Amino acid sequence: EVQLLESGGGLVQPGGSLRLSCAASGFTFSSHGMSWVRQAPGKGLEWVSSISGGGGNTKYADSVKGRFTISRDNSKYTLDVQMNSLRVEDTAIYYCAKVAGNWGAGYFDLWGRGTLVTVSS
């Protein structure tokens, strides 16, 4: 079955760190760019970061640049994001998404169910 499954969410204090993971199955993982998209409670969608199929190219939203690091392990079919210096405004459901087509100019054709990150003291 083609699917994405996120894990690693939870409650963390401001300034803390958290690592999210996304397990992929049902498609050739290394052939596709991958992305993280978040959604604050009651708000819209915000793109966070993307990575190319081989992992050598990455891109970040200005709101997380320098604090978040996206990575992937193609042998394990996993996508990660390391989130440091977390802020209250990082509180959101984090979705991983598969990029269709060119990794830097593709739409998101498969989404995971998401994992909730809450940043609060």
Partner 1 sequence: EIVLTQSPGTLSLSPGEGATLSCRASQTVSSSYLAWYQQKSGQAPRLLIYGAFSRATGIPDRFSGSGSGTDFTLTISRLEPEDSAVYYCQHYGNLIWTFGQGTKVEIK
Cα 82 → chain centroid: 9
**Binds partner 1 by CB under 8 A, chosen from 64, 112, 117, 119:** 112
Q: Least CB distance from residue 121 to partner 1, whole Å? A: 27
Contacts of 86 (CB under 8 A, 6+ apart): 12, 13, 14, 15, 16, 17, 18, 67, 117, 119
**b/e string for 66-103 if b means 16 or more Cβ within 10 A?**
eebbbebeeeebbbbbebeebeeebbbbbbbbbbeeeb
Is 9 near partner 1 (CB under 8 A)? no
**Binds partner 1 by CB under 8 A, chosen from 21, 46, 69, 71:** 46
Using the minimum distance from each CB to partner 1, give the nearer residue, 102 or 121: 102
* CA 23 – CA 13 distance, rounded (Å): 26
Is 105 near partner 1 (CB under 8 A)? yes
Q: Where in 61-90 is the site for partner 1 (CB under 8 A)?
A: none
Q: Least CB distance from residue 101 to partner 1, whole Å? A: 9
Is 111 near partner 1 (CB under 8 A)? yes
Residues that bind partner 1 (CB under 8 A): 35, 37, 44-47, 50, 59, 95, 100, 104-114
